[in-house]
Amino acid sequence: MPETTRERRLTPRATEIAAQARALLEESGPEALTMRALADRLGIKAPSLYKHFPDKQAVEAELVAQMLTESAEACEEAERTAPGSLPALAGAYRGWALAHPHLYRLATERPLPRHALPEGLEDRAAAPLVRACGGDADRARAAWAFTHGMVVLEIHGRFPDGADLSAAWRTGTESLLP
Amino acid sequence: MPETTRERRLTPRATEIAAQARALLEESGPEALTMRALADRLGIKAPSLYKHFPDKQAVEAELVAQMLTESAEACEEAERTAPGSLPALAGAYRGWALAHPHLYRLATERPLPRHALPEGLEDRAAAPLVRACGGDADRARAAWAFTHGMVVLEIHGRFPDGADLSAAWRTGTESLLP
DNA sequence: GTCTATACCCGGATAGAC
DNA sequence: GTCTATCCGGGTATAGAC
């Protein structure tokens, strides 16, 4: 079977715009990502952006695709390094998310723009966890929920200041082993 | 020891305003909760609201306090019904959250307005889970992360359509038992 | 590919009269 | 406790010239 993951190619200019959108998002958060601010950062006027993207949603969808791709890559790398290890996988996922908290939130705290994503990307992002759970989909979902929950609670500063989060991660990932 | 949880009392009118704010939020989501829309619903003009709350954040903080109080109550009820049962506790938490998804998100997807909450409320909300985990704080945090993760992934429609979420809940809560 | 001009809508908040 | 008038800011997006 041929590779089913397809990328809708962006023009070079659109790629540059997306890169600046990402930089803006990562530096200042989702509320700061406006078409005006994005244009300012590129040294152009906001209306010009609409020659490259149909609307703001399309820009955001591109960033969501980047998030899924990169966190999948991080997990695949962990898989190669420590095959079958749920703690290693969770650590890679956590590491990527905490390094890009605003992008992680953008991709995660709203419905997925599934129609605008490259085919197969969502499955690719889920696959390493399913493999680490020996194909047990229920366990993989529980492990995903734990991992995502830890990450977002960390990002939002929900744990008490002194909390030993490494210990919580260890307890969670070890408990959820198949 | 005396009860340490204190409530800053709202005036009757402020209570009514908060109730309408909540109704608006629960019906239409966080973006729909604006001072203008809130005033419309009350049959008054937006500036009048500022005689009762100093700003919009204060209204939102009141709703966050309601969320913490009510989900704590739901969990305490589950504790009485099935003492020490993590699955029962998680079920109560899930039930409350899915019945009030917008309020759950408002209280959860941003930093807690700790300064504006009744004293002791955050601890009260956390206590049932710590008790169910036999006082093991690391396990309690892992269980909270799992539970919160499942809830928000459900709310945002992140699981595949056919997914057996009951099975994932069972797997997760049973795995995380002390 | 970028511009100007502009339409259109939305938001939070304050001053001061009644 | 509510009002009117208002300020000031922000946002997405389109039309049409260059």
Helix (H, G, I), strand (E, B), or coil: what is residue A29?
coil
Q: What is the pLDDT of residues B20-46, one digit of tens each?
A: 999 999 999 999 999 999 999 999 999
Region B77-104: mean pLDDT is 98
| A97 touches A50 (CB < 8 A) | no
As a rounded value in angstroms, the CA-to-C1' distance for B49 and D2 is: 9
Please name the member of A105, A112, A146 whose beta carbon is closest to the beta carbon of B142. A146
Q: What is the pLDDT of residues A117-159, one digit of tens each?
A: 999 999 999 999 999 999 999 999 999 999 999 999 999 999 9
Report the distance separating Cα B25 and Cα B103, nearest Å: 7
pLDDT-derived band at B171, boundaries 50, 70, 90: very high
* Sequence-ordered strand ranges (E) for B81-169: none
Please give the structure tokens belonging to residue B175: 């795995």
pLDDT at B9: 86
Nucleotide nearest to B12 (CA to C1'): D1
What are the Cα distances from residue B138, in Å, to A149, B94, B111, B114? 14, 21, 21, 22
Q: Closest by alpha carbon to B89, among B120, B122, B131?
A: B131
pLDDT at A3: 34
Tell me the pTM: 0.95
pLDDT at B4: 29
Give mean pLDDT in consecutive 10-residue pieces for chain A, a chain of 178 residues. 50 98 98 98 98 98 98 98 97 98 98 96 98 97 98 97 97 96
Q: Which residues of A touch B109 (CB under 8 A)?
A: 105, 109, 152, 156
pLDDT-derived band at B91, boundaries 50, 70, 90: very high
Chain D bases near protein Cβ (<7 Å): 1-5, 10-16
Residue A44 CB lies within 7 Å of the nucleic strand D: no
Contact check, Cβ <8 Å, A144/B153: yes
> What value, to the nearest 5°, has the Cα angle with vertex B32 and ends B94 and B92?
10
